[in-house]
Chain A
Amino acid sequence: MITNLASLKQFFKENIKIPIFGVGVYAFDRLGLEDVAPNYRLLALRYSLDTELIQKEVEVFSLEKGMDLKHINAPRNSTTILSHPRTKEYLSRFEKPALIVYKTSSKMEWVCKKNNWLLVGSPVKFGKKLLEDKVKFRKILEQLDVPPPPGEIVAAEKLLDQNSQIDLFFHFQNKYGLPLVLQHPRRGGGKGTFFIHSEEEWQKALKKLHIHEREGVEIEEKINDLEVIIAKFIEGPSPSITGCVTRHGILSTSPQYQLIDIPELYNPKKGSGLFCGHDWTSSRFSESIAQQAYGIVEKIGQYFKTLGYKGIFGIDFVLDKESQKLYVTECNPRLLGSFPVITMAQILNSETPILAFHLLEYLNADYTIDVRQINALMRRPKNGAQMFPHNLTGRWTRSNARVNAGVYKLNGNRMKFIRPGYALKHLQNENEFLLTDGVLDKNAHYSPNRRLGRIIALGPLLSENKKSLTPWVKEVALATHDSFKLRRVWFAKLRKLFNPEFLAKG
């Protein structure tokens, strides 16, 4: 029986013999289980400065190793890794490897089936067309009697109807007040949620429902059968929780604060609802809020189980600061942006990492646990935080400085390199922070809003209001951005046209 971290490690050592691979764009993305599973290796697309450090401790196969700043001209995702002939050749050395991915794709499922690889990730059928669809998920919530924010599902066609546009806005404003929230069911990355403060913004949002921009190109989308959500704006922070459907019951960690729409990390012009990180150190919720979160994750997890779902899923909330009530905003039926740092924080906290149970479920391992005991262990307060700085310039840029992956301190308003490192365990105190996850060498290109890396810290990132960064963290974020010395690249798209390897796709 697995009761704690030690017995979990023991279980893996004695029972799990098959080779396990974490698959990610960067090696860092799938770290975490190297401390638990002895046969754990990493498959990565990019070869970044932090990968150099990681591979000293974990075996890493990187497709772009040795390519310097050039990139494979294919989408920047795990499907590219698994479909590549060199990966196939590398994996042929292992018997039926298990591959842990962030998110599955149809092509990935096909490649894995063809090569007899075990894909560890929720099937595509649960994703965009079902649980990730915010409208369908809202209907599920209503069925489960789990509260989404007050609002309604409306046919987009009705909103765009020239006869009712003006009156509808007035009706919604009258019903839900301003700002209003309009959500596209499938779009993410800041492009699907609109916070509307006026009729002008309402008109703009409606236009964006059927015309949206992808990499600078306007694309017209059919909205004939599209349904959208109109909801009341709830004032308050945005916690989330990580759940895992197992044959023994629903596991979950403690709820955590998310960093959303932080201007020092993400250019606000990109949209609204932009995810920028997590803060476990600040996540000390009252018993009443925590119990609401656990009740919801249990209900949703049990429902997912009836669908045949297994493994990790995430639930995003908004916490009404007045009533202290949690409302569910969306679901992520896959691994989450909280990984691998949540696993690192769990291990530092002597918890059984929730990711291990995800893997055990897909391996169909014969393990036993006491769900209440494991949940009690995983729901303990933990320390750690992460944030994602992005290219804030709004333009294609090139870095004009080499920024090493590793541990830093703030020296005035500049970063000072202390020592190499890539994981939470490499931090010694709350004054240090770590820059890792896809840190690229000097002269690397960054598209507008491209992620620059990941900053990890032991101390809290969020200020009292749980919506903005503390002054020290703001300085860290801006110093990190400045340290890359980003310079504009002229005619980037044109150059890419003539030299496809010039910039990374995706």
Chain B
Amino acid sequence: MKTLAAIDNRIKVADRKVRLLSRLNPLNAKNEFKKFFTAYRLGKTYNPAFRYKPIKTDLAALARELKNLVIEVPPAKNERWFFTRHLENKRRRIIAKIRALNSRGTSKFKNHSRQLFGSPSSSQVAYAHRILGSSASRHSFMEIADSLSSRDAAISLQKYLCKRGLSWQVRIRANISSKAGLDSRSQYLLVRAGENFAPEEILSLAVHEVETHIYRRENGVRQNFPGLFSEGFGGPPTTEEGLALFNESQYNYDPRRLNIACARTLAVHYAKNRPFFYIFDKLRNYGIPDTYAWAATLRAKRGLSDTSRPGGFNKDHHYLKGYLEIKRFIENGGNLESLYIGKLNIGNIRTLELLKISVVKPKYLPIGLIRPVELEYDNQPRFAQTIFQGKH
């Protein structure tokens, strides 16, 4: 039997090979965008047909390798039990991801997606309806202008990374599902080519991508099981994305970001039974601009070929779900710093405490946690100035 550290590493490598999210980005999204809007402006219904890049990785061999990996969970509840149990869980999840990828473009994809990510609860859907139905939501999209280019955004974010002493690089890429994202393997912060960004949005992205995802990842690498702590425990990214959104909300640079999370939740909710066009139209009726409504709908329908069919990719409701969970966690006296040990989930923290598992103190913490001087953030956000120093 391999040592736990070796298993942790094997699972980390396997997870990276699977690359579920990037493999669900449609190749022809740009063309379908044009077709969709041409039809939409003519008052016609069109549901995009997506194509995907063939998968060259031998996923069947990878699944076999994972299945053959012996992980013996000890009966006694101790530190070893905790890590083996979570590694075992993660192994199962990666196999489930492979099954989802194998069903990409078929009607079975929706079942695998639901198994991996669940569905939004009715209270979550009601919350999203409430937020998007408010006049503040409509105003936020009207008031904030996306006046900066991808290049501007990349420069600002790169400066921010340097200031924080991180070796990550910003890269501009065409085929990513959101305006910004991470390529953890190469340590790239990706910015989507051809996009426009609002200054407020870049600040929010810095909080989201750097202060949350990169910080948690960098802190996780320093732990005993870097695979689990830096790539994430087995399970949907509820805490990860929820914390990112929660952190954004603390600074409140770009109020549209919560609205987008709500739109994504509704998109996942409707995608269960509705076609692409219906979801897009619903989101538009909430005052969501075309490009944002398109992006949220595309994300909810990625993985399908024929988007007129029911089902889709259920990941996106975890932004709002996680946000509400983190809010509750903080309201109930939870310690935000404990979530920066690595990419762990809220539920893991209590177990770490109960089992007295020692962890390395997080090196990277959001500015708000290091220097909780509220005035600094109220009117003149500290890093807002530094980020745009070059521009003004």
Contact = CB atoms under 8 A, between A and B. Distances in A.
Interface of A: 157, 160-164, 166-168, 170-171, 173-174, 224-225
B233 A163 contact: yes
B122 A170 contact: no
A166 B86 contact: yes
Interface stretch (B160-168, B293-301, B344-352, B382-390): B344-352
Nearest to B73: A199
A404 to B, nearest CB: 54
Contacts of B239: 163
B351 A162 contact: no
B185 interface: no
Interface string B109-127: 0000000001101110000
B354 A164 contact: no
B351 A171 contact: yes
A2 B119 CA distance: 60
Contacts of A160: 118
Contacts, number: 50
A167 B348 contact: yes
Nearest to B123: A225
B350 A166 contact: no
Nearest to B345: A163
B234 interface: yes
A237 B15 CA distance: 51
B351 A167 contact: yes
Interface string B174-186: 0000000000000
Contacts of B348: 167
A168 B354 contact: no
B238 interface: yes
B121 A171 contact: no
Interface residues of B, number: 23
B85 interface: yes
A168 B238 CA distance: 16
Contacts of A225: 121-123
Contact of A162 (B118, B346, B354): B118
Nearest to A198: B75
Interface string B88-106: 0100010000000000000
Nearest to B352: A167
B236 A170 contact: no
Given A174-B354, A224-B119, 9 more contacts: A161-B235, A161-B238, A161-B347, A162-B93, A164-B347, A167-B345, A170-B351, A170-B354, A224-B122
B77 interface: yes
A222 to B, nearest CB: 8
Contacts of B350: 167, 171
Given A157-B121, A225-B122, A163 B351 contact: no
B354 A166 contact: no
Contact of B238 (A163, A167, A224): A163
Contacts of A164: 235, 345-347
Contacts of B234: 162
Contacts of B233: 163
Nearest to A163: B235
A170 B119 CA distance: 25
Interface string B136-169: 0000000000000000000000000000000000
Most buried by B among A166, A171, A225: A166
B86 A224 contact: no
B310 to A, nearest CB: 16
A166 B90 CA distance: 12
Interface in B294-350: 345-348, 350
B345 to A, nearest CB: 4
Closest 9 CB pairs of A and B: A164-B347, A163-B235, A167-B347, A162-B235, A163-B345, A224-B121, A167-B351, A224-B122, A166-B85
Contacts of B345: 163-164, 167
A161 B236 CA distance: 9
Interface string B339-380: 000000111101100100000000000000000000000000
B354 A163 contact: no
B71 to A, nearest CB: 13
A179 to B, nearest CB: 16
Contacts of A224: 119, 121-123
A224 B351 CA distance: 25
A306 B141 CA distance: 51
Contacts of B347: 161, 163-164, 166-168
Interface string B220-249: 000000000000011110110000000000
B347 to A, nearest CB: 3
Most buried by B among A161, A163, A164, A171: A163
Contacts of B238: 161, 163
A170 B77 CA distance: 8
A173 B86 CA distance: 17
Contacts of A173: 77
A371 B44 CA distance: 76
